[in-house]
Every structure is written in structure tokens, then in C-alpha cells.
Amino acid sequence: MDEIGLFPLNLVLVPGEQAPLHIFEPRYRELIGECLDYGNEFGLVLEDDEGMRDVGVRCAVVEVIDRFPDGRLNVVVEAHDRFQLLGLTEGRAFHTGEVEDAPDDTDTPSEDEVEECLAAYARVVAAAEAELDDLDLDAESIAYQIASRVDFGTEIKQGLLELRSERQRVLRLAPMLNQAADAVERETEIRHRAGGNGRVEPL
């Protein structure tokens, strides 16, 4: 258990995912500045209308893109290990909290379960005609890689982050991916039909 600076945002990152951030509030410029000066990590946690969640990820700044004269920053951060927020602490301009690591348990998916999830992901990519980086099939988590490439929205992504095993994540992702593929395929079919004669034929 240790104390880290927290950056609450309406954003969810999963381990291994990178994202750009624009740092403009003075308190978070202070937090990110300390991370840059001392090589510290900070805690990224989802905060929305339901409040601050208690599962987040440790993040490190991997690139500074811009430094502005007024102190604002554009940076790229990378999510690392997941943590459980035990409670908020006080004494700094930015949020801080006591956290402990939240590692996965040992429940791993079967080869068939992984293949089903990968097939569903391939359907989404093909239906969307998207060009995405290849998955690293030897990585620790296939599910996190997929969650970083498909926009499910913050609520679903937070739910995936809170699951405590790769098998749970794979089993949850497969049907969601198939539903997403179905939706994209239907939309594409309707668009093609409408483009053919200006009318949409009943499905």
C-alpha cells in the first residue's frame, strides 16, 4: 500500500494503453511536473456523474509533445498496473490516495475461448474496414489489447478493468464484439442499399 497522486478524468485506460492528455489545470500541471522530474507514476481513475471509481491504473508520462509558455502541457501517458483505491488523502493541491495493487487471479481462458474472442474481434475490424495494429498474441492480456482498440465507452471499459481475470475479460468481450460486428454490418448493408436506388429495402 502506498500513496500516489490521482488524476480523475472521464477516461478509462487499460494496462498497456497509451493516450494523449492536455494538462492545463495548475494542480495537475504540478502533479505531472513531479512525475516528469522524479520519474513518478500517477493514478488515473474514472470520475463521472457517479463519482470517482475505486479501481484505476498507474500511469507514466512517456512523451512530452508540447510545453506552452503558460505552463500547459501536451503529453502522452501509458497505463501500467491496475490498483484498488483504498481511500483519499489530503495535503496536496491535487487529489491523492492510498492504493494497493490489484493483480489478476490465475483463471486463464481456454484456447477455444481465446479463439472465439479473436474471431469476434476480426469480425468487428473487417466490418468497420479499419486498419489497426496487429494484436500481440504472446502478450499477457489479449482482452486489454482489444479493449484499447475498440471504443466501447467508459462504462463498459471500466467494467472490463475491474474484472480480476483474463478469462472473465475474454468471456465478456466475445459477445460484445459480435454484437458490435452485427451492428456495423447492418449499418453498412443499409447504407449500400440506400446508395443503390435511393431507397432502403426492408431487412
pLDDT of residue 198: 54
Domain span at residue 16 reads 2-101
What cell was used for 60?
507514466
Answer yes or no: do 55 and 123 share one domain.
no
Instruction: Say yes or no: 75 and 128 in one domain.
Output: no
166: in domain: yes
Same domain membership, residue 166 and residue 85 = no
Last residue of a domain, one of 38, 70, 101: 101
Tell me the pLDDT band of 101, cut-offs 50, 70 and 90: very high
* Chain mean pLDDT for the chain: 93
DSSP string covering the chain: -EEEEEEEES----TT-EEEEEE-SHHHHHHHHHHHHH---EEEEEEETTEE-SEEEEEEEEEEEEE-TTS-EEEEEEEEEEEEEEEEE-SSSS-EEEEEE----S----HHHHHHHHHHHHHHHHHHT---PPP-TTSS-HHHHHHHHS---HHHHHHHHH--SHHHHHHHHHHHHHHHHHHHHHHHHHHHHHHHHS-PPP-
203 found inside a domain: no
Least Cα distance to 40 among 73, 1, 3 occurs for 3
155 lies in the same domain as 118: yes
Q: What is the CATH number of the domain that holds 94?
A: 2.30.130.40
Q: Check if the beta carbon of residue 117 is closer than 8 Å to that of residue 170.
A: yes
- pLDDT tens sequence across 103-124: 999 999 999 999 999 999 999 9
pLDDT tens digit string along 116-153?
999 999 999 999 888 888 999 999 999 999 999 999 99
144 & 116 share domain: yes
Are residues 91 and 129 both part of a single domain?
A: no
User: Mean of the pLDDT values across residues 180-188?
Assistant: 89
Task: Please state, as a whole number, how many other Cβ atoms lie within 10 Å of the Cβ of residue 89.
Answer: 14
Rounded CA-CA distance 162/158 in Å is 6
Residue 28 inside a domain? The answer is: yes
| Whether residues 89 and 121 fall in one domain | no
In a domain, 49, yes or no: yes
What residues form DSSP beta bridges with 62?
Answer: none
| Residue 96 shares a structural domain with residue 115 | no
Asked whether residue 91 falls in the same domain as residue 51, the answer is: yes
Same domain, 31 and 115: no
Which residue is listed with cell 448493408? Answer: 189
Domain count, the chain: 2
Indicate whether 7 and 73 sit together in one domain.
Answer: yes
Q: Is 195's pLDDT higher than 80?
A: no
